Structure 1
């Protein structure tokens, strides 16, 4: 690229890296003091979490809870988005990260974690009241329907999570699934 600039083929070397000295110096400073990029205290985190709440419609507190949950678990945003009520063991307060939710053509999709394996992480005491498991009890597992008529009348299990795009439930899908499992033929 330097030769192309010299020969007048291009005007600017787009591959030239600038500003690396400042980034290198910043990285060295962080090695000397690993807490340098961290928030100074709990009150600062709460003030940071209050910003999306104040900017949201009707000051929805859930946005602040997401910020605090993400900061206190050091999780990626996709992992926080993929958190479900059943992923948190409230007996030991351990979060098993099983999925990440990411944007895709047509809506949101769930996929495996970055390392493609489940990870376990503690939920610190300060955020337990606002964790997904504390704010919503796990949905009861419905008993299997005994007839297609009962399956059609069954209602979907309650959920505190926002349904993902493309995830639907209907009595007709329950009936066809039930019919396939009882008759041995695909529904």
Structure 2
């Protein structure tokens, strides 16, 4: 028996079966799939038979530390359990959410800018893509707009404002629980506008040819949605992506989402200020946007001539014939 166990308190698994529809009503289809998978593999084996009012923050922290898988998959499990506990709080079954306040290991901030393509790598991407057609248009639309793959799939002809040279982004096509693509709001649930650069103009013209205002822009050869799976299959992506960019041991291979990272870096390299980049990408936080600015690397580059001049003026060091510390009364020894 657990210290706080009450035989009248419903068990965690029972609450999930009853209120899963409530949990899912507040999250996107893709998150629904992730939560369902996490629940089945991690949360249910650990907590399904526990009375909801017996859970403590330490219990949840122990589970999170014990679950296998990547940080993101374990975070999905924690998110699913936390969402259910919020429902339980609203129902008066527990006084507070035990998932709040757990201590998690602080990892190194991801180097998302390193995932982006350089200009030469972007050139190699152009070389491996088909010379024309819907799949080439779709991939280049991701690079030029910085939109997520599902957001490109959800664009309609009428979203393009030719007078302002912008595209309104307000929806995304993502896989639902059964795997079929459904159209819903964007990840941030906010509309935004992205620029129509010159290279994107002919792509938009081709994509909209023969279509009405409410038709989807970037459809497949048969008029259906393009997803990450059928895009990869059509292009043989897993066999050609290493010809575009490779990463070190243990790092995942080039992913479609890296094209969004590429667009972010290109926006900064083009000279746009961080708030503009944030608005175009739809980031909720400027801190996320600034990860792409690569200010630390640029600071190190700027330091090379300045620090070299300073150190060179202070000591000849090894370059001057090898002065030793014993023979230098006051000079700086490198």
How high is the TM-score relative to the length of structure 1?
A: 0.50
Structure number with higher strand proportion: 1
How high is the TM-score relative to the length of structure 2?
A: 0.30
The structure whose RCO (Cα within 8 Å, separation 6+) is larger is 2
Structure number with higher helix proportion: 2
- Structure with higher Rg: it is 2
